[in-house]
Amino acid sequence: MMENSRTRRSEFAITFFIKAAGYSSILLVTAIFIFLMKEGLPALGDVDLKTLFGSRWYPIEGYFGIWPLILGSLLVTVGAALVAIPLGVGTAVYISEVAPAWIKEILKPLIEILAGLPSVVLGFLGITVAVPLLRRLLDLPTGLTAFTGAVMLGLISIPTIVSIGEDALNTVPQSYRQAALALGATRWQTIWGVTLPAARSGVITAIMLGIGRALGETMAVMMVTGNAPVLPIQWNALFMPVRTMTATIASEMGEVATGSAHYHVLFFIGIVLFLLSLIVNIFASFVSSKQRRRAERVLS
């Protein structure tokens, strides 16, 4: 009897705690969103739209054009995705499908260490090793370019893609692979035609989370991209310096007077960043849920 009521009480406490933890994340996101809106939307009143969506960013003289920053972030993120997707998915496939057990035992912890590496350390490596190397190798005016940033960001997002992608591949039932091999498919045909499509939703989620990580990364990017607010529209923009939204917020937020136009515009950039990562997430969940519906149909 006594025991029973104690169990019930602890059950209640635990349920309450878990519920509170669940709701708190909703509450936090809402609070952050409201705060961003409150601090960022006044920018539309402080700065006229033509200036805000202009092509020149030089805030201390009232040039608040955010296009170079948006395009700079997109360029670096797309570059990072091009580096990280083949390497990340490839590594995940290798670990899950090809590697013998002992290599798997070594690779998995190594990838986890790479995931735990602070980005400032990677940025430091970038500035001392990658920047001089890329300048000499590609004969560029400077090694501080969008491409250098993309490579660094690629390295940062690879561990995310590998560990989530590998989990997704592991959930594919062994019978699928056996069936494919029994039908005479080669190992590569099995991976490309059966295992990867079966794990598609998980792999796409992994890629999207990796891209989200790249989009929001600040420190490494700030150290290696040169931070020049150039509109990256030339054909060789990838090999020219750019300035990203995150680097701009990080390097300028410390200096602005609270409530000034510059302050509101920096928060407005925060809103743009928030919306972009929201789009990435919505796209990811759209793709994965669509895939699940099809898979359920096939199986039923």
Binding to other proteins, residues 217-236 (CB under 8 A): 222-223, 226-231
| Interface region with other proteins, contact rule CB under 8 A, candidates 14-22, 128-136, 158-166, 187-195 | 128-136
Residue with structure tokens 């997109």?
A: 74
139 binds other proteins (CB under 8 A): no
Minimal distance, residue 124 CB to other proteins, in Å: 10
Encoded tokens for 288: 């994965």
Reading the block at residue 228, the tokens are 């020049």
- Torsion sign, CA atoms 180, 181, 182, 183: positive
Integer Cα distance of 253 and 255 in angstroms: 6
Nearer Cβ to other proteins, position 203 or 230?
Answer: 230
Q: Which residue stretch of 19-27, 161-169, 252-260, 268-276 sits at the interface with other proteins (rule: CB under 8 A)?
A: 252-260
Of the residues 7, 15, 30, 128, which one makes contact with other proteins according to CB under 8 A: 128
Q: In angstroms, rounded to a whole number, what is the distance separating the alpha carbons of residues 104 and 95?
A: 6
Among 74, 114, 127, 287, binds other proteins (CB under 8 A): 127
Cα 47 to Cα 231: distance, rounded to the nearest angstrom:
20
For the chain, give the number of residues.
300
Number of residues lying near other proteins (CB under 8 A): 33
Identity of the amino acid at 19: K
| Residue 231 or 287 with smaller CB distance to other proteins | 231
Interface pick for other proteins out of 60, 101, 182, 298 (rule CB under 8 A): 60
Strand, helix or coil for residue 34? helix
Q: Are 220 and 226 in contact (CB under 8 A)?
A: no
Nearer to other proteins, 104 or 135 (CB): 135
**E strand intervals along the chain:** 57-58, 63-64
Can residue 22 be called a binding residue for other proteins (CB under 8 A)? no
Of 241 and 270, which CB lies nearer to other proteins in the complex structure? Answer: 241
56 forms part of the interface with other proteins (CB under 8 A)? yes
Total Cβ atoms within 10 A of residue 175: 9
Cα(94)–Cα(75) distance, rounded to whole angstroms?
29
Q: Give me the least distance between CB of 190 and other proteins, in Å please.
A: 48
Q: State the residues that interact with other proteins by CB under 8 A.
A: 56-61, 63, 68, 127-128, 131-132, 135, 141-144, 222-223, 226-231, 241, 243, 251-252, 254-257
